């Protein structure tokens, strides 16, 4: 009973926290934009290439390559720059870049649609670490886990409705309307963040070069056993997920015998699971050992990946996607809360960037080879391989000690 009352008090405090409300709402707006972009590009490329799996996997590579190239620098600069200004400028530059892409497409340069993915993902790497800085400074440490749980639960709602809205806009209005809506959403997000407070008295890096900052961050990372293990575990996890991410649409077509547009319903079920997982995590996370949850969660994901590939019934596949969402929500909340609570403020941006670099490397490696691998083997073989890699990540993460106490 006392734990319930404490959770309710934390929730009430967070709902009166201006920074939490603004950052969370802006993130939700961006999530909607990302889903509209992802669905429009997926269908656009598949129509353009007659459902070629190599082209679909290449789209995933183009989406994640900027994260690999710029996340480390973006994280380092987030520790140096004023976060409010960085977040606003990131949204404004994203809106302007996409508007320019629309104009170039209307002028007859249709392939510039791929440039939109690259630029949008690149700019994000300079703005999203600032959100973690805002949380670190303006949310009490004991409320961080609850804050992330609420944010994850709300974001999962857009995993439910985002694919549906994105599919409807593209199907009814086409690629230009999808990209225009994306511009509007980025502008709304930037306008909302003008109400954020400025962070003053931040650590000065004026006399410190970026190279020196990188060396300090790597030293900090190498001297922290949990961070080292987490980097390896997450990289293996993303390698496995990268193998299957571009191929999810082929589960719909080849295993379930449905049209490609039906993937929106699997995305929706996954988002429903994430919402349920976020709500459960907000209530239960303080009673669970993060170490056991992380390792077990990875192993459960491995089993779900294998089961999804074997299924030929939509209801069973949908149930698997729902359970995957629950597990993913728990893992996301535990890991993000751990990073924010236990990473020193002066390193939080660059540590996030460093971990993202390793993680996205795994995603890119998996996505780069999966199209060719599927052509020369089978969809089932690729999913079995991915399941084995994710299971190995779970076994390795048994070395973690992330107790919430």
Per-residue pLDDT in tens (0 to 9) along the chain, 405 residues: 444 445 555 566 676 777 778 877 888 887 788 778 778 877 877 777 777 777 777 777 777 777 667 666 665 565 566 777 777 877 887 788 778 777 777 776 656 666 766 776 676 666 666 666 676 676 776 666 667 667 766 776 777 777 788 888 888 888 788 888 888 888 888 888 888 777 654 554 444 555 666 676 667 777 777 778 888 888 899 889 888 887 888 888 888 888 877 887 888 888 888 878 777 766 665 555 555 677 888 999 999 999 988 988 989 998 999 999 888 888 877 777 777 666 666 666 667 667 777 887 888 888 878 878 888 888 899 999 999 999 999 888 888 775 544
Question: Are 133 and 100 contacting, i.e. CB atoms less than 8 angstroms apart?
Answer: no
Question: Are 330 and 297 contacting, i.e. CB atoms less than 8 angstroms apart?
Answer: yes
Distance CA 306, CA 303 (A): 5
Q: Is the pTM of this model over 0.85?
A: no
Among candidate residues 186, 194, 154, 253, the one with its CA nearest the CA of residue 36: 186
Distance CA 392, CA 396 (A): 6
What torsion do the CA atoms of 223, 227, 232, 238 make, to the nearest 10 degrees?
Answer: -150
Question: Are 385 and 243 contacting, i.e. CB atoms less than 8 angstroms apart?
Answer: yes
């Amino acid at each position: 009973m006392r734990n319930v009352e404490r959770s309710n008090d934390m929730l009430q405090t967070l709902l009166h926290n201006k920074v939490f409300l603004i950052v969370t709402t802006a993130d939700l707006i961006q999530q909607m934009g990302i889903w509209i972009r992802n669905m429009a590009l997926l269908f656009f490329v598949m129509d353009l290439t007659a459902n070629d799996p190599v082209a679909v996997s290449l789209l995933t590579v183009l989406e994640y390559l900027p994260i690999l190239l710029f996340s480390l620098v973006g994280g380092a600069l987030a520790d140096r720059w004023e976060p409010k200004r960085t977040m606003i400028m990131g949204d404004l530059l994203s809106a302007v870049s996409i508007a320019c892409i629309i104009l170039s497409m209307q002028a007859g340069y249709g392939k510039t649609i791929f440039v939109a993915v690259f630029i949008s993902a690149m700019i994000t790497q300079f703005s999203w670490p600032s959100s973690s800085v805002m949380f670190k400074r303006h949310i009490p440490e004991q409320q961080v886990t609850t804050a992330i749980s609420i944010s994850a639960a709300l974001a999962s709602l857009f995993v439910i409705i985002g694919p549906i809205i994105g599919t409807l806009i593209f199907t009814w209005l086409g690629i230009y309307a999808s990209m225009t809506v994306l511009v509007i959403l980025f502008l709304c997000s930037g306008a909302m963040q003008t109400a954020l407070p400025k962070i003053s008295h931040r650590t000065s890096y004026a006399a410190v070069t970026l190279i020196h900052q990188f060396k300090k961050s790597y030293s900090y990372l190498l001297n922290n056993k949990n961070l080292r293990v987490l980097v390896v575990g997450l990289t293996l996890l993303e390698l496995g997920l990268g193998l299957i991410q571009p191929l999810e649409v082929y589960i719909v077509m080849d295993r379930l015998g449905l049209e490609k547009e039906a993937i929106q319903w699997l995305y929706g079920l996954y988002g429903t699971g994430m919402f349920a997982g976020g709500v459960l995590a907000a209530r239960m996370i303080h009673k669970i050992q993060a170490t056991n949850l992380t390792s077990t969660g990875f192993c459960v994901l491995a089993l779900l990946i294998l089961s999804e590939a074997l299924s030929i019934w939509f209801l069973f596949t949908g149930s698997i996607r729902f359970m995957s969402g629950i597990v993913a929500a728990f893992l996301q909340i535990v890991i993000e809360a751990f990073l924010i609570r236990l990473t020193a403020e002066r390193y939080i941006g660059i540590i996030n960037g460093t971990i993202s670099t390793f993680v996205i490397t795994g995603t890119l490696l998996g996505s780069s080879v999966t199209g060719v691998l599927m052509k020369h083997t089978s969809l089932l073989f690729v999913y079995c391989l991915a399941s084995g890699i994710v299971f190995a990540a779970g076994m390795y993460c048994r070395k973690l000690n992330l107790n919430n106490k």
